[in-house]
């Protein structure tokens, strides 16, 4: 039985569901939709994805929400694209470009050299546009009011960082990293190291531990499966012979 079938038949016992999140919605939007459209009373997710990001989101339903902690420390894998020569306050395309720089001198060799320097354990400062709390409020609320606060760097581990395509100003790459890593901050730091600035323009989470996005379902597929399951149940009831 697939994880989708287990979700459809879970009831109070709960289940785990792998969702392939679409662009433009928050991770909580996924939970809200499960509650509103699928009658799920209790649900939670492991590892938030930004609205502009797509890919794997682990969702636990019912009693399985008590097991969310099992996924907290698992390494994560992403495929992403950065654009050289531009910078934004959020380090991605959520906010407008505030600075442009010349990137014509950046070569593939220079990119690969910088990536090697950013591989391994290191301290990373979270972006202002993040959910990290300061005096009980997420940083992004301060950022939206134009405030920039000092943030405490945290140790992360970039276990693999490789360039998969380069056509200036766009750089496609893959990264495997520890929990708490902001790929946006990684891109920002790479841009500073190159001297031209860089901004994250696309991000897709492809793996969390042993769980892969290839095994996930989209919300549209989930809706279709729900309707098909209900149709089959109705047909079974229609042809049931009374005792």
Phi, psi of 120 (to 5 degrees): 110, -175
Residue 4's pLDDT is what?
55
Catalytic residue among 20, 50, 92, 189: 50
Q: What is the mean pLDDT of the segment spanning 127-150?
A: 92
Which pair of tokens denotes residue 10? Answer: 């879970």
Judged against a pLDDT cut of 70, whether residue 59 lies above it is answered with: yes
Residue 183's pLDDT is what?
98
229 is catalytic: no
Q: DSSP letter for 240, please.
A: P
Burial of 46 (0-12, 13-18, 19+ CB in 10 A): buried
Q: What is the mean pLDDT of the segment spanning 67-89?
A: 95
Q: What domains can be seen in the chain, in order of their start residue?
A: 3-72+210-238 (3.30.2350.10), 76-208 (3.30.2350.10)
Across the chain, which distance is largest between two alpha carbons, in Å? Answer: 81
Among the ranges given (4-8, 13-17, 73-77, 158-162), the one the predictor scored with the smallest mean pLDDT? 4-8
Return the residue matching tokens 């994805």: 49
What is the C-alpha to C-alpha distance for residues 236 and 213, in angstroms, rounded to an integer? 33
The pTM is what?
Answer: 0.88
Residue 63's pLDDT is what?
86
């Amino acid at each position: 039985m697939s994880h989708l079938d287990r979700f459809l038949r879970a009831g109070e016992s709960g289940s785990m569901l792998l969702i392939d999140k679409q662009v433009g919605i928050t991770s909580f939007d996924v939970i809200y939709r499960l509650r509103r459209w699928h009658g799920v009373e209790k649900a939670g997710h492991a590892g938030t994805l930004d609205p502009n990001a797509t890919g794997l989101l682990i969702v636990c339903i019912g009693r399985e929400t008590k097991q969310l902690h099992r996924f907290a420390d698992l390494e994560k894998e992403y495929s992403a694209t950065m654009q050289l020569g531009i910078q934004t306050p959020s380090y991605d395309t959520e906010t407008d470009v505030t600075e442009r720089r010349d990137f014509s001198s950046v070569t593939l060799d220079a990119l690969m050299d910088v990536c090697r320097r950013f591989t391994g354990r290191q301290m990373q400062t979270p972006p202002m546009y993040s959910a990290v709390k300061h005096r009980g409020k997420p940083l992004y609320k301060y950022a939206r009011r134009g405030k920039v606060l000092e943030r405490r760097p945290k140790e992360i581990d970039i276990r693999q960082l490789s360039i998969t395509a380069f056509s200036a100003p766009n750089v496609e790459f893959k990264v495997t990293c520890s929990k708490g890593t902001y790929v946006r901050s990684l891109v920002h730091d790479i841009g500073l190291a190159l001297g031209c600035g860089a901004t994250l323009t696309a991000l897709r989470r492809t793996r969390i531990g042993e769980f892969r996005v290839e095994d996930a379902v989209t919300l549209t597929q989930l809706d279709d499966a729900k309707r098909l399951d209900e149709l089959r149940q109705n047909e079974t009831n229609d042809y049931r012979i009374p005792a």
